[in-house]
Structure 1
Amino acid sequence: MSSHDLQPGPSSRPSEPVGALLRPRLLAPGPVETDPRTMLSLAQPQIHHRTPEARAIVQEARDRLRRLLGAPSWEVLIMTSSGTGAFETALLGLVPEGAPVLVASAGKFGERWGEMARAFGYVVSSVKKPWGESLDPQEVAAACGGMRALLITHSETSTGALHDLGAIARAAKQVNPELLIIVDAVTSYGVAELRPEEWDLDTVISGSQKAVAGPPGLGFVFLSPRAVSRLGGHTHRYYFDARKELASQQKGETAQTPAINLIASLSSSTERLLSVPLDVLWAEKARLNAALLAAGEALGCRPFASRPSPAVAALVPPEGISGKQVAGALASLGARAAAGQAPHQDDLFRISMMGYFDRYDALGAAGLLEDALVSLGAAVTRGAAVSRAWSVLSS
């Protein structure tokens, strides 16, 4: 064979990716990519939800979710709903109508809980920070006097910010020991350091489509023993009735017809997460997200959040390029990311390694981001993003 035979021909040297040959990738901050074994489990025959088999599935799923929270003494409700439905379950189950509540927010989802509380007639006070900034523990605590509950988001998906929940909770309970702390941990559960017992939290909310890496459709309500003792809450509730649901789920049942196949899939979707200690899991997720942020910085982007969450890499693109343009350019490469949320839809874009990903996927995401920005005319050094990402992953 001659050396000429070893030279690639023109057809083997495409100047840009061939769209039809690209694998679809879901890099958005939820829903996320799902383990194929989890999807395969959903192809099993339908079972009836009022059977011993179904009761065993519900109890196993509840046990696995508690272990992933690191709070074995807590109760967990698996709701056939989104995370928003789970938050409504907790709010209505714990806080009587008309009670004063404090909403601490610095982004879209923190603001949502205020909107929900007002819709149900609670007396709402607010502590706000600009989007992307971190909540100040002392400022939040100072506003907790006389409040029945604090509604707070741990990892703000809209901004990629992680609030210091432990410090906030400690300061708040010093001011108001009877305060109920209801936490949106939709994108921190299974991703970021979360110690509900040590931090004296009362309720933690999450969902199946984030770090658990299952399909959307399940909301999780974790209740401390103290929260269980105070169940009652708002009189206007029916489907989202935490007390009724708890009585059923302690027996392996659900108060209403559940998405039993989705619940069964939790056994496979949590297997990887529970195969290592929580500290190891949190550290690896933080490392993956740090690699994405470093890759972005190598390409002229900067982090949007002052205290980044390991769940979401929220990046401000280079001058002259919008977040929506970056998300669109990634979509043209088969990778679905997210722009910012209104009013910051042009200011940032968001990518995530929450789902069924490992460090080699982070390297691939760095390469995709580099190609996307090149296609938008950004001046970048080829290979810089992957190199920076790899330096973080190997540190």
Structure 2
Amino acid sequence: MSAFNRPRLLAPGPVEVSPDTLRSLSQTQIHHRTPEARKAVLEARENLSKLLGTDFEVLITTTSGTGAFEAAIVSLLEDGAEVVCAEAGKFGKRWGQMAEKLGYGVTYVSTEWGKALRPDDVAAAVEGKKALFITHSETSTGVLHDLQAIAKAVRAVNPDLLIYVDAVTSFAVAELRPTEWDLDVIVSGSQKGVAAPPGLGFAMLSPRALEVLNSGKANPRRYYLDLAKELKSQKNGETAQTPAINLIQALNVSTSRLVSIPLEDLWTEKEKMNNALVAAGLALGCTNFAERVSPATAALVPPAPLSGKQVADAMKARGARAAAGQDAFKDSMFRISLMGYYDRYDALAVAGILEDVFAGLGVQFERGVAVKAAWDALKNAAPELVSK
């Protein structure tokens, strides 16, 4: 990286955090069993609830989103329960693999990477099952699955089903209406849309999920990841175990900015910023990998003969950390994101970086075309994102 380039974190997590959030981490260490700590925990739960837009019970775990998802599985589902995992990417499949390791019976509903899950396909698999695991925004593909339609379809077949949602990259980024869509468990993490450092997982529970949690019928083999125990403590601003209180304080700084923005405005602006990234890529000859674009991630296939890794490496050489694809698609695409502490002018900067990268890789284009495409996407509510 040149000394003239500042580092930019453009991968789909972890994300850049604000200077004031970083400064909060340098505060004097506090004890986690004090009024100051209890106030911080309660504030964090309140802010996360506001960002969810509903009064689900919010529980904070000192883990990642993966840890919060595991906690929600073992705290709500009986040992050996039968579940459905609807997946179309690396992270969606993770939840089924986790459940298998924990001794649950898993039925998979799978769709090829880049495609959106079909509500009827998912609904056909849920009869008699205890839970559905589904990823809202699939980070590995850039797809936003139609969660509302899928939830409606499965409820028609199995009204008592617990719907678990991996909202790791959709929470505080994409439209998400847990009460209206009749969802039960929303899981996310601190290092994505809420623009805080990694290290906290969130499990947000509906009244139906709380009833199950309090029934005492869940998997008995749990200790640290026991949400029933956490619920008793966190209602009073305590935690069952030692929390990452410094991260919770930082989370409060980050989310205080986000909750000052009307939630629908936040969703709209994040969508426009991601649309600008996609539009810039298309202007340079890329194609869109995602059938249904998530506002959390732009997954772009570069023009032949370039690979996604070549583009990601060239961005890294300019100080911009992007991500290539994953697993079988590691060379097929590159992925960039503005989920965290970014604004629309960062989208224009990324468009300029992409122009430099593609020029350096030998792609012929008229200078300024990507930046103009990004500007147009930011100005319009619904820019054209289909590859020419």
Sequence identity percentage: 63
| Deviation, structure 1 residue 225 | 1.2
For residues 210-236 of structure 1, the C-alpha deviation after alignment (integer angstroms, 9 at most, x for no partner) is 010000000000001110110142111
2:39: which partner in 1?
56
Q: Counterparts of 2:341 and 2:222 in 1: how far apart (Å)?
A: 36
1:191: which partner in 2?
173
Matches within 5 A, 1:99-248: 99-231=81-213, 232=216, 233-248=218-233
| Deviation, structure 1 residue 278 | 0.8
Residue number among 323, 337, 344 corresponding to 2:308 in the alignment: 323
1:310: which partner in 2?
295
1:281: which partner in 2?
266
What is the SS of the residue equivalent to 1:21? coil
| Deviation, structure 1 residue 19 | 1.2
The one-letter amino acid of 2:258's match is L
What is the SS of the residue equivalent to 2:339? coil
The one-letter amino acid of 2:59's match is L
For residues 50-78 of structure 1, the C-alpha deviation after alignment (integer angstroms, 9 at most, x for no partner) is 11111111001100000000012x11111
| Deviation, structure 1 residue 380 | 2.1
1:26: which partner in 2?
9
Q: Counterparts of 1:275 and 1:77 in 2: how far apart (Å)?
A: 22
What is the SS of the residue equivalent to 1:77? strand
For residues 341-363 of structure 1, the C-alpha deviation after alignment (integer angstroms, 9 at most, x for no partner) is 11110000000010111110000
Q: Check if 1:359 corresponds to 2:341.
A: no
* Structure whose alpha-carbon radius of gyration is higher: 1
| Deviation, structure 1 residue 268 | 1.2
Q: Counterparts of 1:152 and 1:216 in 2: how far apart (Å)?
A: 22
What is the SS of the residue equivalent to 2:165? strand
For residues 258-307 of structure 1, the C-alpha deviation after alignment (integer angstroms, 9 at most, x for no partner) is 00010011121012211121111100000000000000000000110000
For residues 222-263 of structure 1, the C-alpha deviation after alignment (integer angstroms, 9 at most, x for no partner) is 001110110142111111111111111111111110000100
Q: Counterparts of 1:371 and 1:146 in 2: how far apart (Å)?
A: 54
The one-letter amino acid of 1:47's match is I
The one-letter amino acid of 1:103's match is C
2:378: which partner in 1?
393
For residues 150-174 of structure 1, the C-alpha deviation after alignment (integer angstroms, 9 at most, x for no partner) is 0000000000000000110111111
The one-letter amino acid of 2:70's match is E
Q: Check if 1:251 corresponds to 2:233.
A: no
1:346: which partner in 2?
331
1:75: which partner in 2?
57
1:264: which partner in 2?
249
Q: Counterparts of 2:58 and 2:250 in 1: how far apart (Å)?
A: 17
Q: Counterparts of 2:276 and 2:30 in 1: how far apart (Å)?
A: 42
Q: Check if 1:337 corresponds to 2:319.
A: no
What is the SS of the residue equivalent to 2:329? coil
Give 5+ residue unaligned stretches, structure 2.
Answer: 381-388
Q: Counterparts of 2:257 and 2:145 in 1: how far apart (Å)?
A: 26
Q: Counterparts of 1:382 and 1:272 in 2: how far apart (Å)?
A: 36
Cα RMSD for the two superposed structures: 0.8
Matches within 5 A, 1:286-301: 286-301=271-286
The one-letter amino acid of 2:192's match is K
Q: Counterparts of 2:38 and 2:340 in 1: how far apart (Å)?
A: 27
Q: Counterparts of 1:222 and 1:337 in 2: how far apart (Å)?
A: 30
Normalised to the residue count of structure 1, the TM-score between the two structures is 0.94
Normalised to the residue count of structure 2, the TM-score between the two structures is 0.96
What is the SS of the residue equivalent to 2:152? helix
Q: Counterparts of 1:69 and 1:48 in 2: how far apart (Å)?
A: 29
For residues 99-154 of structure 1, the C-alpha deviation after alignment (integer angstroms, 9 at most, x for no partner) is 10000000000110111010011110010000010000111011110110000000
What is the SS of the residue equivalent to 2:327? coil
Q: Check if 1:374 corresponds to 2:359.
A: yes
Give 5+ residue unaligned stretches, structure 1.
Answer: 1-17
Q: Counterparts of 2:30 and 2:257 in 1: how far apart (Å)?
A: 25
Matches within 5 A, 1:2-21: 19-21=2-4
What is the SS of the residue equivalent to 2:68? helix
| Moved beyond 2 Å, runs of 4+ | none
The one-letter amino acid of 2:155's match is K
